[in-house]
Chain A
Amino acid sequence: QKEVEQDPGPLSVPEGAIVSLNCTYSNSAFQYFMWYRQYSRKGPELLMYTYSSGNKEDGRFTAQVDKSSKYISLFIRDSQPSDSATYLCALQGGSEKLVFGKGTKLTVNP
């Protein structure tokens, strides 16, 4: 069983839709939960970061963590064509390394 599972998609939605992206994980030692956005041929950029169960909101983005179910989500409201990218969940335990999901490729159609 992989440490982090993420549906690779691809996911295609119309502009203005609500997007839900998800990851599940198996290791209870993960304490920090991140979502990165990666545009084509670019490095990942940090979107959201949280270390506790519950919701964290930043503009159109909401990150949700459920440690009891080992399930994390990213919601994008009022999606825009500029949101078209690959979204990567990343988890971190007590060590330095980030453990990434495979990434979900999102396309928002105008």
Chain B
Amino acid sequence: ETGVTQSPTHLIKTRGQQVTLRCSSQSGHNTVSWYQQALGQGPQFIFQYYREEENGRGNFPPRFSGLQFPNYSSELNVNALELDDSALYLCATKLGPSGSAGETQYFGPGTRLLVL
């Protein structure tokens, strides 16, 4: 177990709706990244948060947004859902300041989102 939890485990939404996914990390893990994993693909980097600020973003539109809270838990929000947003959403946390590339990231079990 990595100590990273995500909720909910599964979710079904319809096109145009909005969704919020949650991630809680191990104590002290102050950096969190979110990834999208479509079926049969590797995870794709969405963005990263460090000390409550976005620090790095992948090739995802602004309708993907996030928050990190003082206790280092995090949310991923997706507005105006599209069918292609159906995927496994993973968060990964690590202990260490932003910019410390190479430090181990621990993944949660993911939230499986289905958009109909």
| Chain A contacts to B: CB under 8 angstroms | 4, 6, 8, 31-32, 36, 41-46, 49, 51, 88, 90, 92-103
Of all chain B residues, which has the CB nearest A51?
Answer: B102
| Chain B contacts to A: CB under 8 angstroms | 2, 4, 31, 33, 35, 40-45, 48, 55-56, 58, 90, 92, 98-99, 101-102, 104-110, 112
Chain A residues closer than 8 Å to B33, beta-carbon distance: 96-98
Chain A residues closer than 8 Å to B108, beta-carbon distance: 43
Chain B residues closer than 8 Å to A103, beta-carbon distance: 40-42
- Bound complex: CA of A93 vs CA of B108, how far in Å? 22
CB distance from B56 to the nearest CB of A (A): 5
Of all chain B residues, which has the CB nearest A46?
Answer: B104
CB distance from A49 to the nearest CB of B (A): 7
Cβ-defined contact, B45 with A99, below 8 A: yes
Of all chain A residues, which has the CB nearest B55?
Answer: A96
Chain B residues closer than 8 Å to A93, beta-carbon distance: 101
Chain A residues closer than 8 Å to B99, beta-carbon distance: 96
Chain B residues closer than 8 Å to A8, beta-carbon distance: 40
Given contacts A44-B90, A44-B107, A45-B2, are A96 and B101 in contact (CB under 8 A)?
Answer: yes
- Bound complex: CA of A95 vs CA of B99, how far in Å? 7
CB distance from B22 to the nearest CB of A (A): 14
Chain B residues closer than 8 Å to A51, beta-carbon distance: 102
- Bound complex: CA of A98 vs CA of B102, how far in Å? 9
Cβ-defined contact, B48 with A96, below 8 A: yes
- Bound complex: CA of A99 vs CA of B35, how far in Å? 10
Question: Pick the contact of A32 from B41, B44, B101, B107 — CB < 8 Å?
Answer: B101
Chain A residues closer than 8 Å to B105, beta-carbon distance: 46, 98
CB distance from B111 to the nearest CB of A (A): 10
Q: Pick 19 A–B contacts, CB within 8 A, sort by A.
A: A4-B42, A6-B42, A41-B112, A43-B109, A44-B43, A45-B107, A46-B106, A49-B104, A95-B56, A96-B48, A96-B56, A96-B98, A97-B45, A97-B48, A98-B92, A100-B42, A101-B42, A102-B40, A103-B41
